[in-house]
Amino acid sequence: MRDWTVIQEWYVRDELPIRLGGLAANLARIKSFSSPTANREAVEGLIDENKFLIEWTAPEADIDTAAELVELQIQLAVWQRSWASIWADTVQRMQVAEQSRIWSERVLDMSGLLQ
């Protein structure tokens, strides 16, 4: 089991744009890890981790960014709740992968790191 307290202490040291960039990178990993079926646990772990990253980031974001992050957190929870059936169905798994890619791009844009 992960020590989320230690991870949180490390994560919140970064400025908000860096944290958003890390979240975007994790979402991109969901996309890239979704093709081989052997990565189920890794993707499930990323989903769980992203929910924590959002929890630690949203309170410091502006209201619009925070609202989008909460929307993403809800989406992650929905996926997590049905994860066994999503992973077993290639079509659903690829839909999650594509949605993760879209979210990754949105979060990266919110970070302002590419400007």
Structure-block tokens of residue 109: 């844009």
Helix/strand/coil (H, E, C) string of 66-105? HHHHHHHHHHHHHHHHCHHHHHHCHHHHHHHHHHHHHHHH
- Cα distances from 12 to residues 4, 9, 44, 80, 81, in angstroms, run 12, 6, 22, 24, 27
Per-residue pLDDT, 36? 77
Predicted TM-score (pTM) of this structure: 0.92
| Alpha-carbon dihedral sign for residues 1, 19, 75, 108 | negative
Which pLDDT tens digit goes with each residue over 5-59? 998 999 899 999 999 999 999 999 999 999 878 899 999 999 999 999 999 999 9
In angstroms and rounded to an integer, the radius of gyration of the C-alpha atoms of the chain is: 14
